[in-house]
Structure 1
């Protein structure tokens, strides 16, 4: 997979590995902005309004299918766009929303030019895969590692536990619900295996392996502070000297690690892309070193894409997966 981003002072081209990709660079070098753009285009087919400098973004997959974004300015006038639409399928799709363009006349109109996968060497009509269909094939998870205070909107107050006070807490609560569904799904699969399979023990072991691995990893890491998962409960809960500890009572680093590993477990070994921006925040250096390995153990089918400036993340054999931001950037001014 390859990302091409144009706009601002620099253009970027980043060729990705199928398993692990680490974008490194100093603060302010553009790592987070680059991840934000890619996440937004793959997740919702739109870019954040504050990224007004971006001219184009193209995500090309190994099979040469791609998703593309282009910044179009209405200053060109609607008539010019109509002329371009005669030769360019992207502009024809823009014209399908011409009324919205007219309402914003005089302002920059930012629109995804293709929410479909398109075959670069074939006609536009050959491929018709929407973002929704993409998400049916690939899980896309974006993990926030910042423990900001939660905005107490009415919806949040109605839906959340009184212990949910930060963004990490909110993410944990949502994952708790998915975790219960995950276990229910395992139980259903177990019943099917028992009813239809000859090698029952072998299949059951394979079915339970990711969940057992997750619990063992958590117990190993959290055991250093005297905590272990309460395996008698369906929801995530911990024991420390026989005292119950909820996930909301964990430290920021423990919450963050739990969110990352639980998210990967819930991918259920499906093809997935996991985005993380500076996951080392609040994590002990030893946890940083083990993080990527644990993620890949829990789901060998996940492609990890993260930004970091911590050497700890790459210590455990991931140096060859690192791309320095300065090495994938093209200084347009240097070409003049």
Structure 2
């Protein structure tokens, strides 16, 4: 069970949002998914969360408490000081400004209530906790080695990237270690490293949705190739935008955990991802969030999304509609169409389908008999609606069935 996670988000001022709280959970590290209409402030809120977490890079929660104590102390001293003593009152005002600026640097937009927050700065220094932020335009930028290079793992990294670029170098280093270990008879080390590569390959099969995929060591060029049947081999620097987006997250978090993990990638942390579905095909949107939460079981993810497929893929997260300021806990039973209209504020039907549906209803509702031309029009529109790209939608089927039923009932009364 995680001992360090966000329990509450206090929004002070993020764009047009002011003075409200988002309660998550006091005992269990639930993930948070921000959704809402375009322009509702999802990205700005995530940046506010990031700003608060940057406190732990250099300071700690006790430092924040001390700054607030100093503001109160100097305000009290200023109120009690002799106004004619300009030097002294200026000193108090300068101190108030200095410590207020320190507080605002991290807490002006958002303040987080984190369980055992006083321990996080120390855990970050030891590599036992991580904080990472991925923006919506992320792509992987991995470096290809010119030879075998020993990769030095660091325990602490800045919030915005810093480790994933050397992922290929790290793979080459480990594969070389495995080969030498086997050559020297150190089978325990060789087998352990081989199992690690098998685990990575297994997860690549899942991400690329291809059970026949293999991760191949190109020893002549000190690189790794992805091999898929009926495709040209390609390396990790030539991924599509969708896979590059995933790999920027996966490689970064793997590298940050390598120095401290046990058998699994089980280091605690808080990871922020803006638009987690960016550039992903629908099939990957359905599985990306669950993949990350399974791969990194002790990370609390704070994400934003426009995707109904992401929203319906989990049942253990707080889903917060920033436009309506409403919390939900489980969208797994909602249809994609309902999520699109009700929670993302997007009309699920194309304008052409809507226009045809309106015309169909107007023709059916005509009190007078339809002309032959209108009857032909009704039949034509009915056929179109039954075969439209939106026709799989239960809501569309229900609406058309209701219109048809009204027509049948009217004809029965004639």
Structure-1-length-normalised TM-score:
0.57
Structure 2 counterpart of 1:31, from 42, 67, 91: 42
Q: Tell me how far 1:306 sits from its aligned partner.
A: 1.0
CA contact (8 A) 1:69 1:113 kept: no
Higher relative contact order, structure no. (Cα contacts within 8 Å, ≥ 6 residues apart)? 1
Structure 2 counterpart of 1:4, from 9, 15, 19: 9
Structure 1 distance, partners of 2:128, 2:161, is: 25
Change (3 A) 1:77 1:236: same
Structure 2 counterpart of 1:14, from 13, 23, 40: 23
Q: Tell me how far 1:286 sits from its aligned partner.
A: 0.8
Secondary structure, counterpart of 2:37 in structure 1: coil
Structure 2 distance, partners of 1:280, 1:25, is: 14
- Per-residue Cα deviation, 1:248-298 (whole angstroms, up to 9, x for no partner): 443322211222333344334132332111111211111010102221332
In structure 2, what is the equivalent of residue 277 of structure 1?
274
Q: Tell me how far 1:312 sits from its aligned partner.
A: 0.9
Change (3 A) 1:319 1:232: same
Secondary structure, counterpart of 1:278 in structure 2: coil
CA contact (8 A) 2:9 2:113 kept: no
Q: Does 1:213 align with 2:202?
A: yes
Structure 2 distance, partners of 1:278, 1:301, is: 21
Change (3 A) 1:327 1:218: closer
CA contact (8 A) 2:138 2:248 kept: no
In structure 1, what is the equivalent of residue 75 of structure 2?
80
Gaps of 5+ in 2: 1-5, 80-89, 145-159, 259-264, 329-414
Q: Does 1:321 align with 2:330?
A: no
Structure number, greater radius of gyration: 2
In structure 1, what is the equivalent of residue 308 of structure 2?
311
Secondary structure, counterpart of 1:111 in structure 2: helix
- Per-residue Cα deviation, 1:150-196 (whole angstroms, up to 9, x for no partner): xxxxxx9xx989xxxxxxxxx9996241343366468769959x759
Gaps of 5+ in 1: 47-58, 60-64, 85-97, 122-126, 149-155, 162-170, 330-336
Structure 2 distance, partners of 1:296, 1:6, is: 25
In structure 2, what is the equivalent of residue 287 of structure 1?
284
Secondary structure, counterpart of 1:109 in structure 2: helix
Structure 2 distance, partners of 1:265, 1:120, is: 24
CA contact (8 A) 1:142 1:276 kept: yes
CA contact (8 A) 1:138 1:270 kept: no
Cα RMSD of the aligned pairs, angstroms, is 5.4
Q: Tell me how far 1:37 sits from its aligned partner.
A: 2.0
- 1:101-112 pair list within 5 angstroms: 102=94, 109-111=101-103
In structure 2, what is the equivalent of residue 175 of structure 1?
164
Q: Does 1:145 align with 2:136?
A: yes
Structure-2-length-normalised TM-score:
0.48
Structure 2 distance, partners of 1:35, 1:119, is: 16
In structure 1, what is the equivalent of residue 392 of structure 2?
none
Change (3 A) 1:230 1:25: same
Structure 2 distance, partners of 1:69, 1:291, is: 38
Higher percent of residues as strand: 1
CA contact (8 A) 2:75 2:96 kept: no
Q: Does 1:131 align with 2:136?
A: no
Structure 2 counterpart of 1:252, from 235, 238, 241: 241
Structure 1 distance, partners of 2:161, 2:7, is: 32
How many residue pairs end up in the alignment?
268
In structure 2, what is the equivalent of residue 333 of structure 1?
none
Of 277-286 and 243-252, more deviation after overlay is shown by 243-252
